[in-house]
Every structure is written in C-alpha cells, then in structure tokens.
Amino acid sequence: MTQRPVPTVGVVCLRGDEVLLIKRGNPPRKGQWSLPGGRLEWGETLHAGALRELAEETGVEAEILGLVDVVDGVMTTRHYIMIDYAARWTAGQPVAGDDAADARFFPLEEALAAVEWEETRRVIREAVDRYRP
C-alpha cells in the first residue's frame, strides 16, 4: 500500500476578539484544544469542506475571509496537509459534535494558552493579524 498525504481543512473562526476551538475527541492530538476541521470529501471544494467541518464539529456558521496558510502535519502514522482558513462567525453557539469532545469560544490570549501545538498557535496569530477588524 502506498502512503499518501491526507488533505484536510481547518478554520480559525473569529467572533470579535474570540477564537473558536475544539477539544479533539480522537487521535491525533486527542484531548488537545485545536482548530475545527477535518478531511475533505470527494468532489468537495476547500471552502465548502471548511464550512462543513466547522458546522459538524461545532454547530457554528461562518463566512470564509481568506486563506491563512497550508501546514504539514507529519504524525507517526499519517501525513496531513492542513489548509487553514480564517472565517467570521455569523450564527450559532458552539456545541461539540462529530469527533469533537468540546467546543467553545476563547478570548485570544486564552485560546493561545490552551493550544499545545506551536504551529496552530502561529496560524491563529496570523489569522487574527490579517483578518480581525
């Protein structure tokens, strides 16, 4: 079997000065706070996939503001290509769904402190710097 990178999408969802995070319910990084996101489905556009994953994991709706970055996540058994977007919250209160164990908005500094992976913290900072009003 040939191993190939897995394309995924993630969302830095901004609501004023807050950032939406999920607590991962499954590996990799199970139990850690992270961005809502997941694998693309066949035939799905990047924007549609990002908004679908956001809704499935949090119940929140948003509008895409733009691309933040594309990040490699090389784990012991998988290589993920994470395509991260910034989005502005438009509706809904966070409720954990799909493979998220928890979902909530955090003030920016608390969100950065809750996230363990430096690359995710970097993407959040970049999204806030570029897209926060």
Q: Structural domain of residue 64, as residue ranges? A: 6-131
Give the pLDDT of residue 75.
81
User: Given pLDDT bands bounded at 50, 70 and 90, which one contains residue 1?
Assistant: low
The token pair at 3 is 């191993």
CA 59 to chain CA centroid, Å, is 13
The token pair at 39 is 């694998």
Asked if the model's pLDDT at residue 99 lies above 70, the reply is yes
Give the pLDDT of residue 14.
98
Give the pLDDT of residue 65.
98
14 within a domain of the structure (yes/no): yes
User: Given pLDDT bands bounded at 50, 70 and 90, which one contains residue 132?
Assistant: confident
What CATH number did the domain enclosing 117 receive? 3.90.79.10
Give the pLDDT of residue 28.
79
Q: Which of 33, 37, 57 is nearest to 47 (CA)?
A: 37
1 within a domain of the structure (yes/no): no
Give the pLDDT of residue 50.
98
What average pLDDT is seen over the chain? 94
Please tell me the total count of domains within the chain.
1
